[in-house]
């Protein structure tokens, strides 16, 4: 059975996107922090963290991974697994670490961290593209149903 992005259960903790200064989080204000203060990225020992996948890590509330920038988006990229060739172009160039790739397979998009820049769509080499932009509120099935057909390359003579 292949892994799907929803199987990863990437919501690292319940505070995701809600940890806001002044919202009862019990933190001192930014102007009260003294020099030499350390904010830890993980709970407990972080040894070997480079070899742990996101879903295996214990992120602390200070890690921006527990926050969301979903509200930045107007349009969102939608992923069509049927066309994808797992080239990983989208993975290497996503500026927001939002392409979920596991074991050389592209699984989907992390919509908590994606800002909708459309870079992944631009660098996707398939025809038609395996990633396309849709309105933030578009339904997944409807988006997939509206996927365009393979584009024929324009012939030289037609161009002239």
Residues 118, 60: Cα–Cα separation, whole Å: 29
Number of residues that bind ligand SF4 (CB under 6 A): 26
Our finding on whether 44 is near another protein (CB under 8 A) is no
What residues contact 118, with CB distance under 8 A and at least 6 apart? Answer: 75, 77, 133
Shortest Cβ 123–another protein spacing (Å): 6
What residues contact 25, with CB distance under 8 A and at least 6 apart? Answer: 19, 61
- What is the SS3 assignment for 91? helix
Number of residues that bind another protein (CB under 8 A): 54
Our finding on whether 145 is near another protein (CB under 8 A) is no
Residue 107 burial (10 A CB sphere; 0-12, 13-18, 19+): buried
Among 8, 27, 138, 144, the residue binding another protein under the rule CB under 8 A is: 27
**Closer CB to ligand SF4, 12 or 84, in the complex:** 84
Our finding on whether 81 is near another protein (CB under 8 A) is no
Residues engaged in binding ligand SF4 (CB under 6 A): 77, 84-90, 94, 96, 98-99, 106, 109, 114-120, 123-124, 126, 130-131
């Amino acid at each position: 059975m292949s892994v799907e992005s929803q199987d990863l259960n990437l919501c690292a903790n319940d505070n995701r996107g809600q940890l806001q200064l002044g919202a009862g989080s019990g933190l001192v204000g930014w102007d009260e922090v003294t020099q030499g203060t350390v904010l830890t990225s993980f709970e407990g020992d972080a040894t070997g963290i480079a070899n742990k996948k996101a879903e295996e890590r214990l992120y602390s509330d200070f890690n921006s991974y527990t926050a969301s920038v979903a509200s930045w988006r107007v349009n969102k990229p939608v992923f069509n697994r049927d066309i994808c060739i797992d080239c990983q172009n989208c993975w290497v160039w996503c500026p927001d670490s939002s392409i979920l790739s596991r074991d050389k397979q592209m699984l989907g998009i992390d919509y908590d961290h994606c800002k909708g820049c459309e870079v992944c769509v631009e660098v996707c080499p398939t025809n038609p593209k395996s990633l396309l932009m849709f309105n933030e509120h578009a339904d997944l099935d409807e988006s997939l149903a509206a996927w365009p057909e393979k584009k024929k390359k324009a012939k030289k003579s037609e161009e002239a």
